[in-house]
């Protein structure tokens, strides 16, 4: 018999988290690509061993669309808890191509924003790059998503509207700072210009901080009386 008492305690549910990870794989990333891969895989391992997280991971790799015609490389979300498939995708990454800075970070980010997210869940995107980005998205991205323009405000508005938490590890750059300042819940960790700067970056600290943010901001409770999930 169902207990409909108003004082009935809520039942704690496993945290749901969908996480898109965008990685710059241009040639300048050579000094640090292995460090990024190791850190991302360690992060996936941590989710795998957590009994509190029902997670899915999606990998998106990118390069330089305008100068080199390098398209954003997309993978679908792996099945919940399937970190092995995700790790195989990460291990296949290698630094190559790319023209002179900047890179197509905004295009990769917008692709990630338009992922097939579960509802409800904690939605998050991590971006790792050693370079500034183009000031606008590429024409192909604008056409694909039916946008009227490719400005950073499209990124900011979409992140905000979809309540997506952004975590960005990148060199100091005005566009990245603007996105952080105007997107609630975002976090921007500054690394030095070029692969050597990102190579010395403390990825463990970044991934640990992001793991904590998921744990704190997306603890889910299910109210059986109302049939809705409440995010605390």
Q: Taking the domains of the chain in order of start, what are their residue ranges? A: 17-219
Phi-psi sector, 22: left (phi>0), alpha (psi -120 to 50), beta: beta
Helix (H) or strand (E) run with residue 11 in it: strand 11-12
- pLDDT, position 49: 77
Instruction: Find out whether 11 and 94 touch, Cβ atoms under 8 Å.
Output: no
pLDDT at 129 (0 to 100): 92
Task: Report the mean per-residue pLDDT for the chain.
Answer: 82
The C-alpha atoms of residue 230 and residue 232 are separated, in whole angstroms, by 6
- pLDDT for 140-172, tens place per residue? 999 999 999 999 999 999 999 999 999 999 999
Does the domain formed by 17-219 have CATH 3.40.50.410?
Answer: yes
Reply yes or no on whether the pLDDT at 125 is more than 80: yes
The Cα 209–Cα 207 span in angstroms is 5
User: Does the pTM of the predicted model rise above 0.85?
Assistant: no
In this prediction, residue 51 has a pLDDT band, given cuts at 50, 70 and 90, of low
């Amino acid at each position: 018999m169902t207990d409909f008492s108003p004082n009935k305690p809520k039942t704690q549910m496993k945290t749901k988290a969908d996480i898109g990870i965008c990685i710059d794989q241009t040639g300048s990333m050579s000094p640090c690509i292995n460090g990024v891969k190791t850190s991302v895989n360690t992060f996936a391992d941590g989710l795998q061993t957590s009994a509190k997280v029902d997670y899915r991971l999606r990998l998106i790799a990118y390069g330089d669309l305008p100068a080199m015609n390098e398209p954003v490389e997309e993978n679908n979300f792996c099945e919940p808890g399937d970190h092995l498939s995700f790790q195989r995708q990460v291990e296949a990454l290698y630094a190559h191509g790319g023209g002179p800075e900047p890179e197509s970070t905004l295009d990769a980010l917008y692709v990630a924003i338009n992922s097939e997210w579960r509802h409800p869940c904690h939605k998050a995107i991590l971006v790792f790059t050693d370079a500034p980005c183009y000031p606008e998205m590429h024409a192909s991205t604008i056409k694909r998503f039916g946008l009227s323009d490719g400005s950073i405000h499209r990124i900011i508005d979409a992140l905000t509207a979809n309540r997506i938490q952004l975590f960005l590890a990148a060199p100091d750059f005005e566009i990245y700072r603007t996105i952080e300042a105007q997107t609630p819940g975002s976090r921007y960790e500054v690394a030095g210009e070029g692969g050597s700067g990102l190579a010395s970056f403390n990825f463990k600290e970044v991934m640990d901080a992001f793991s904590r943010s998921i744990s704190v901001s997306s603890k889910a409770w299910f109210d059986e009386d109302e049939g809705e999930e409440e995010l605390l």
